[in-house]
Amino acid sequence: MSFWENIKGRSFFIGEIFSITETKETDGKSMKQTSDKIYKNRMIILINIVLMTFMATLDSSIVNVALPTISEDLSVSTEAIAWVVSSYLLVIVGTILIFGRLGDIKGKTNIFMYGIVIFTFGSLLCGLADNFLFLIVARVVQAIGASAAMATNQGIITQVFPSNERGKALGISSTFVALGSMAGPPIGGLMIASFHWKYIFLINVPIGILVFVLGLKTLPKAKVSTEERLDKPGSVLFGVFIASLFGTLIMGEENGYGSPAILTGFLISLLSFILFIVVEKKTEVPLLQLKLFENRLFSLSLFCAFISYLAISSTTIIQPFYLQNTLKYSPAITGIIMMVYPLVMSIIAPISGYVSDRIGSELLTFLGLVLDSIGLLLMSTLNEFSPLYLLIIYVSIMSVGNGLFQSPNTSLIMSNAPRNMLGISGSVNALIRNLGMISGISLSVLILYNRMSRKIGGNVSNYVEGRDDVFVYGMRGAYMAAAAICAVGALLTAFRLYHKRKRS
């Protein structure tokens, strides 16, 4: 019996609710009450999962706005303090497949609950940190918990919700991922203005305790496999691959991508990835079941998700500079304007998920990526004299597109995964999301500064005061590249839609 099952004892959980359907009472009233009760508890489970998801994604961005304050308080250089963010992201992407596989072996609920505990404890440690090294260690602990929760949340949703409700549930989950990722800077700015920076971490503690208690009472019983073991060689090689790739991408943003150290980092990541694939093919029970990708719909949906996050993440890094440096808005106003994207998406994503349950996902994903492409292309037309309402309209078009795309695409990914691989499938999806976001930020920064350097006739690695036109020139190139990448995704979804209708 697992640790969490011992804690639960005889307490009420959703597995017992499912057994009610076998009751001898067969009259219509009893069946309706049972159905209502099952649905109610599914929604409680969903609330529990999205609260943890929101906290985990929020903490990847909320600290950004606090970095100057933390740097001054802990007497750390601006370059070094960036590792408060980078360490969190690196640990998540390096361990998320491992926790996904552990979810399939030890039970998704068990791993999710451990994730809550570790994340909450890590948040407490971050709030107690009084030196830089302690804070980095605390962020690593926090990231391990976040990774465990992210790796298993979609698998639990897919397990609990039937196919006719799954799109809506995953849509709500996608909404909270977007809200957590994009609401971090404005929320962090408000908290820093009112409280000490440590409270951006300490606020997670009471919420984490609430989510833990709620999880004990509602989450489904974990299904533990005693016959399977974790692929340790594959786990190590995957960790080396991710650490070298993402570490190189992050350092490349700061120091340029042409140095020998950066090129060596890319070489190590490539070699470790090749070895990882070789090991996985020879291992009887691998970390990543490569046969997952034999399902073309699963693989194509993952690739489209990567393209979407890569294209859209360019706005996250460029838009604050455009609003503050080019249009001269204050940080507070910038934060409010940047809330447009997550707010619009929070309305569209659940609706899109609901509709996808009834008409299918392929058409919605196609329309979503088309709108993303159009929005990014329109963003490339902005300049230093553009009115604010145009920016808001263009961002709204992108957020509607992303809202239409994410829920149905996630539903396609999880619905095409084998039932015994929901944990690893959800973690692969989460990995693709993080990989797309970091790759998109790195690519957009590379294009931005490359074009700025070409425009000004010299090396540029920062905003050039008094030359707003230089930044606009670089921004236009970054957005056009993102629009082109998103258009490729739209073509792939059109191909997917065509083949579905052809089969029909």
Cα dihedral sign for 429, 432, 434, 437? negative
**What does the angle CA 300 – CA 172 – CA 40 come to, to the nearest 5 degrees?**
125
The DSSP 8-state label assigned to residue 61 in this structure reads T
Closest CA to 400 of 366, 437, 434, 375: 375
pLDDT of the residue at 8 = 38
* pLDDT(309) > 90: no
Q: Using an 8 Å Cβ cutoff, are 368 and 312 in contact?
A: no
Maximum alpha-carbon separation in the chain: 81
**Lowest mean pLDDT: which of 212-221, 305-314, 330-339?**
330-339
Q: Do domains 1-226 and 289-504 have the same CATH topology?
A: yes
3-state secondary structure 236-277: HHHHHHHHHHHHHHHHHHHHCCCCHHHHHHHHHHHHHHHHHH
What pLDDT shows up at residue 23? 39
CA distance 352 to 355: 5
CA 463: distance to chain centroid? 28
Q: What percent of the chain has pLDDT over 70?
A: 81
Average pLDDT, the chain: 77
pLDDT digits (tens, 9 = 90+) for 267-307: 988 898 899 888 888 877 777 777 777 777 788 888 888 88
Q: Which residues contact 298 (CB under 8 A, 6 or more apart)?
A: 292, 412, 413, 416, 417, 425
Q: Which tens digits make up the pLDDT trace of 246-260?
A: 778 777 766 666 777
Overall average pLDDT of the 312-340 stretch: 77
CATH class of the 289-504 domain in this structure: mainly alpha
37, 83, 171, 414 from 139: Cα distances, Å: 39, 10, 29, 30
Q: Using 50, 70 and 90 to split pLDDT, how confident is the model at 182?
A: low
User: For the chain, what are the domain ranges?
Assistant: 1-226, 231-286, 289-504
pTM greater than 0.75: no
Cβ atoms of 116 and 147 within 8 Å: the answer is no
Asked whether the predicted pLDDT for residue 328 surpasses 90, the reply is no
Q: Which residue would you say has higher pLDDT here, 4 or 340?
A: 340
Q: Does the pLDDT of residue 393 top 90, yes or no?
A: yes
What digits encode the pLDDT tens for the residues 24-38? 344 445 444 444 454
- Model confidence pLDDT, tens digit, residues 96-120: 888 888 887 888 888 989 999 999 9
Average pLDDT estimate for 69-91: 76
Which CATH code for domain 1-226? 1.20.1250.20
Residue 177 and residue 181: Cα distance in Å, rounded?
A: 6
pLDDT for res 10: 31
- The whole-number average pLDDT for the span 203-231 is 79
